Amino acid sequence: MTADLPLAVVTGGCGFIGSHMVDLLVEEGFRVAAIDDLSTGHRDNLAQHDGSGRVTLHERDILGLEPGDPAFAGARMVFHFAGRGDIVPSMERPADYMAINVQGTVRVLECARAAGSPRFVYAASSSCYGLASVPTAEDHPVAPEHPYALSKYLGEQAVFHWHKVYGLPANSVCIFNAYGPRVRTTGAYGAVFGVFFRQKLAGKPFTVVGDGSQTRDFVYVGDVVRAFLAAARASIAGERFNVGAGAPQSVNRLVELIGGPTVGVPRRPGEPDCTWADTAKIERMLGWRPRVSFEDGVARMMADIERWRDAPLWEPASIARATETWFRYLGRAGAKA
C-alpha cells in the first residue's frame, strides 16, 4: 500500500531541480510531499505522478510553515530547494531574498526538527564562492558578490547551526551550473539555456556575453538529484558537498551544440570567467560521480525544445534594460575593489 512507503518532503517540489528530485524519490520507492507556492514552479512538472497516490502537492509559502505541519509528519528525509533565484531581482529586492532564502529555510528546519529530525539536505549555491580560484573546493573562502549569493550562504549556515545545536542530521549540496529538462524560465533575465532555446525557436541570434569563451561547470539535473539522495542516505552529517561535472564548457560550445548565429552583449561585473567544481570530496565520501556528458545532456534538452516556446524572448536591448541594476551596483563594487 502507498501509505506504507517511506515519506520524503521536497520543498520547491514543482520547480526545476525539485521536480526531478520528486521523480527520483518515486523511482526509489518513496511517497513524496511536495511543497510549493507555485510562484515560479509549475504544477505540470509533477503531472506524470497524477493519480499514482505517490505524490501529494501542498500549495503553500514556506514562510507560512509552522512546526507540526502535517506535510512533514513521519518524514524520513527532507530536501530543501524552495527559495528565490536570479541575481538582478536580488539586488532590487534584497529584503525579499533574505526573508525567503534565510527565514524560509529556518521555517523548514523547524518543521523538520518538530517531525523528529529526519535526514535534511539543503540546496546551496556555488555563487557563495564569488570570483573563486578553480577548481573550487568546499574549503574555498566565501565571498558573495550579490544578495542572492549571500542569502543562499546564510541559509546554509542556518542548516549547519541546526545540526550543531539541535542535532539535526543535515548536509548541504553546493550546486554549480545545473541544467536539464524543466530548467527555470521566469520573467527575469537568467539561465542561458532558456534564453538560447527561446531565441532559437524565434529564429533570433543567441545573445552571447562577451566573446563566449567564459566556461561554466554545467552539471545535468539527473546527476544533481542523485547527489542529493546520496547526501541524505549518508551516515555522516554537517558536511558541504560540491556538485559539478568537473569539466567546464564554454558558452561557445553550447552555441555550437544548439546551432545558430550569435550577437554579442557586454560582459557583466562580478561574473567569474570560469566555474569549476572540485568534486573530490563527494566522490570520496559518497561515491558519487556525474554520468551524463554535456553533449548528451544538451541533446536531451533539444528533444524537448518546444517546452520553451512561451519563455521570455531576450534581445540585446531588453537585456541591457534588465541588467541596468547589475551594472549599477556590481560595477560600483568592482570599481571600489
- Angle at CA 203, nearest 5°, toward 201 and 208? 95
Residue 189 φ then ψ, to 5° = -70, 125
Does domain 2-177+220-243 fall under CATH 3.40.50.720? My reply is yes
Helix (H, G, I), strand (E, B) or coil at 4: helix
237 within 8 A of 171, measured Cβ to Cβ? yes
SS in 3 state form for 93-129?
Answer: CHHHHHHHHHHHHHHHHHHHHHCCCCEEEEEEEHHHH
- Can you give the pLDDT of all 337 residues of the chain as single tens digits? 788 999 999 999 999 999 999 999 999 999 999 999 999 999 999 999 999 999 999 999 999 999 999 999 999 999 999 999 988 899 999 999 999 999 999 999 999 999 999 999 999 999 999 999 999 999 999 999 999 999 999 999 999 999 999 999 999 999 999 999 999 777 666 789 999 999 999 999 999 999 999 999 999 999 999 999 999 999 999 999 999 999 999 999 999 999 999 999 999 888 899 999 999 999 999 999 999 999 999 999 999 999 999 889 999 999 999 889 888 888 755 444 4
Is 179 annotated in the active site?
no
Burial of 203 (0-12, 13-18, 19+ CB in 10 A): exposed
pTM, 2 dp:
0.96
* pLDDT of the residue at 335: 47
The whole-angstrom separation of Cα 326 and Cα 323 is: 5
Nearest CA to 35 out of 73, 77, 80 is that of 80
The whole-angstrom separation of Cα 323 and Cα 329 is: 10
Nearest CA to 248 out of 111, 171, 134, 94 is that of 134
Q: How many CB atoms lie within 10 A of CB 92?
A: 14
> What does the domain layout of the chain look like in residue ranges?
2-177+220-243, 179-216+247-275+294-336
Q: Which listed residue (148, 153, 189, 220) is catalytic?
A: 148
Helix (H, G, I), strand (E, B) or coil at 283: helix
* pLDDT of the residue at 61: 97
Residue 335 contacts by C-beta under 8 Å, 6 or more apart in sequence?
Answer: none
The helix or strand, by DSSP H or E, that contains position 291, with its residue range, turns out to be none
Instruction: Give 124's strand partners.
Output: 174
Which residue bears the cell 546520496?
A: 230
Residue 139 φ then ψ, to 5° = -90, 10
Question: Can you list the positions of beta strands (E) in 191-321?
Answer: 206-209, 215-216, 218-220, 240-243, 249-250, 262-265
* pLDDT of the residue at 188: 67
Q: Is the dihedral of CA 115, 117, 121, 124 positive or negative?
A: positive
Cell of 58: 501542498
CATH number for 179-216+247-275+294-336 (one of 3.90.25, 2.10.260, 3.30.70, 3.40.1000): it is 3.90.25
Q: How many CB atoms lie within 10 A of CB 27?
A: 9
